[in-house]
């Protein structure tokens, strides 16, 4: 497959790179796949150096990402909820987990957006719209990642947070649709099953997502969670009923649906052949995260995923109209992407944000 044909499907990928500097493998991958986006992880920021030093290295990395992808509309993304879900070193402010700053969601959102833009980042994988339904949930409840335990609290805080980021040119992503708050396991490690029925889901889990759709959230991330009473066979990421019927038709979402990392163990086996990506695209997914730096002997690589998409399209396994409508949604998203040039912030800005953080009980 040549780089031109890879790029046609590569725009559907958000991929990770190996470290704070690109190696030769990274460069070849970016140039051949030309991904629509990059997922920055902790490994991409030097954690044990002064601000001036790690910032200079990171600034060079951002420039290289644009150079080697050849994209001016590149999505540069990061998980930045606060608390234990934060990749950036000091002096970037950690305001604590969302459950702590729920009453200050707008103010925290404004501060986070300013700091993220200063790093050249233009999409934050937030706000979390999951409800703290199960406090023992190892990946949501125990980490304090939910804004609260009622749909109304989560909807209000998530909407305020979303609006604050969007006003400063940081795209948002409501996650994890249709809800990860009631699971007993971590989808990074296995496929969680939730026995919630559709009536309960619509009256509880979907309320924050409906609020974000009405607020104009540009992207929504799927949950690698199985709801057998709603779709007997498929996890949400592969479910036409959950994505196309519930999210798009009933909630009215016209933005971009992004599958959480396809190398997470909850769904990794589904994506080891063209069948998985075919089913996901047919269900209504537009883009896929391949964030971990893949082990070519074990994990799905970005190139393999592109090849699977090409094979499915060539064989007519994916409806042409489905792909065309998906491409239009992605192009609208890319048109809204802002390129933020990395710029060091003044100490006074961090002092102001630290003062705000001091009023919040860190969880």
Residues 213-234 have pLDDT tens digits of 999 999 999 999 999 999 999 9
pLDDT of residue 113: 98
Helices of type H across the chain: 3-10, 24-33, 51-69, 105-118, 151-167, 198-203, 206-214, 240, 274-283, 302-314, 320-336, 347-358
260 is catalytic: yes
pLDDT confidence bin for 186, thresholds 50/70/90: confident
| Per-residue model confidence as pLDDT tens digits over 69-99 | 999 999 999 999 999 999 999 999 999 999 9
- Which tokens go with 192? 């969680």
Strand partners, 39: 77
**In percent, how much of the chain has pLDDT > 90?**
82
- Active-site residue identified among 60, 186, 188, 299: 188
pLDDT at 361 over 60: yes
pLDDT confidence bin for 57, thresholds 50/70/90: very high
Strand partners, 222: 177
Residue among 159, 245, 162, 156 nearest 201 (CA): 245
Give the Å distances, CA to CA, from 360 to 93, 99, 355. 12, 10, 9
Spans of all domains in the chain: 38-52+71-357
pTM: 0.95
Instruction: Assign domain 38-52+71-357 to its CATH superfamily.
Output: Glycoside hydrolase, family 3, N-terminal domain (3.20.20.300)
What rounded mean pLDDT belongs to the chain?
A: 93
CA angle 358, 143, 83 (to 5 degrees): 30
Q: How far apart are CA 17 and CA 92, in angstroms?
A: 21
CB-neighbour burial class of residue 305 (10 A; exposed 0-12, middle 13-18, buried 19+):
buried
| Per-residue model confidence as pLDDT tens digits over 277-320 | 999 999 999 999 998 655 555 678 899 899 999 989 889 999 99
pLDDT of residue 52: 97
| Per-residue model confidence as pLDDT tens digits over 260-276 | 999 888 788 888 888 99
| Per-residue model confidence as pLDDT tens digits over 3-39 | 445 668 999 999 999 999 999 999 999 999 999 999 9
pLDDT of residue 1: 46
- Active-site residue identified among 182, 260, 261, 286: 260
* Contact predicate 164/114, CB 8 Å: no
Spatial neighbors of 324 by CB under 8 A, at least 6 apart, are none
- The 3-state DSSP class for residue 130 equals coil
């Amino acid at each position: 497959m040549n780089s031109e044909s890879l790029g046609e499907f590569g725009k559907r990928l958000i991929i990770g790179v190996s470290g704070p500097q690109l190696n030769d493998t990274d460069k070849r991958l970016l140039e051949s796949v030309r991904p629509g986006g990059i997922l920055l992880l902790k490994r991409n920021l030097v954690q044990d150096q002064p601000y001036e030093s790690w910032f200079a290295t990171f600034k060079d990395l951002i420039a290289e990402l644009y150079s080697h992808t050849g994209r001016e509309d590149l999505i540069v993304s990061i998980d930045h909820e606060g608390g234990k879900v934060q990749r950036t070193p000091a002096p970037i402010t950690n305001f604590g987990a969302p459950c702590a700053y729920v009453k200050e969601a707008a103010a925290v959102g404004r501060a986070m957006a300013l700091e993220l833009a200063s790093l050249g980042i233009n999409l934050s994988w937030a706000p979390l719209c999951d409800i703290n339904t199960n406090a023992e949930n190892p990946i949501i409840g125990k980490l304090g990642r939910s804004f609260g335990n009622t749909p109304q609290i989560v909807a209000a805080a998530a909407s305020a947070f979303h609006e604050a980021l969007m006003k400063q040119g940081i795209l948002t992503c409501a996650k994890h649709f249709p809800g990860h708050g009631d699971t007993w396991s971590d989808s990074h490690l296995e496929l969680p099953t939730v026995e919630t029925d559709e009536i309960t889901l619509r009256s509880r889990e979907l309320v924050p997502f409906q609020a974000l759709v009405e607020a104009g959230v540009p992207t929504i991330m799927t949950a690698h969670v199985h709801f057998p009473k709603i779709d007997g066979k498929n996890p949400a990421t592969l479910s036409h009923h959950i994505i196309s019927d519930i999210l798009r038709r009933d909630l009215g979402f016209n933005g971009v649906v992004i599958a959480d990392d396809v190398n997470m163990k909850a769904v990794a086996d589904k994506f080891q052949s063209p069948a998985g990506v075919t089913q996901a695209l047919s269900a209504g997914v537009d883009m896929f995260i391949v964030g971990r730096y893949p082990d070519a002997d074990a994990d799905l690589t970005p190139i393999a995923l592109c090849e699977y998409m090409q094979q499915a399209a060539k064989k007519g396994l994916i409806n042409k109209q489905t792909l065309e409508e998906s491409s239009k949604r992605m192009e609208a998203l890319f048109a809204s992407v802002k390129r933020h040039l990395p710029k060091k912030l003044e100490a006074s800005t961090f002092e102001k944000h630290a003062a705000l953080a001091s009023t919040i009980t860190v969880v």
